[in-house]
């Protein structure tokens, strides 16, 4: 609800926001879902931003110290 999708693809993502390691603040809860990928390089890793307010999905590389969500899959 509230623009957060309907799970029609079989993938649900909670709009958990992100935690900023450098200042300890939490942002975007209820507006975006930031999810880590398994692609990493040293201190950085690739993450995905699902943003319902702007209707976009983006992949980006950032510092692994940010607090993003992980998706667990059952074998």
Task: Return per-residue pLDDT of the chain as tens, 75 residues.
Answer: 455 666 777 777 888 889 988 888 888 888 888 999 999 999 999 999 988 777 778 999 999 999 999 988 787
Between CA 42 and CA 40 the distance in angstroms is 6
pTM over 0.85: no
What pLDDT was estimated at residue 26?
86
What pLDDT was estimated at residue 29?
85
Between CA 56 and CA 73 the distance in angstroms is 24
What pLDDT was estimated at residue 1?
47
> Would you list the DSSP string of 18-58?
EE-TTT--EE-TTTEEEEEEEEEETTEEEEEEEETTTTEEE
């Amino acid at each position: 609800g509230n623009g957060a999708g309907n799970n029609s693809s079989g993938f649900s993502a909670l709009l958990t926001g992100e935690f900023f390691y450098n200042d300890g603040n939490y942002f975007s809860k209820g507006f975006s879902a930031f999810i880590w990928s398994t692609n990493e390089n040293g201190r950085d890793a690739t993450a995905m931003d699902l943003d319902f307010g702007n209707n976009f999905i983006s992949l980006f590389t950032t510092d692994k110290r940010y607090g993003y969500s992980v998706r667990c899959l059952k074998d």
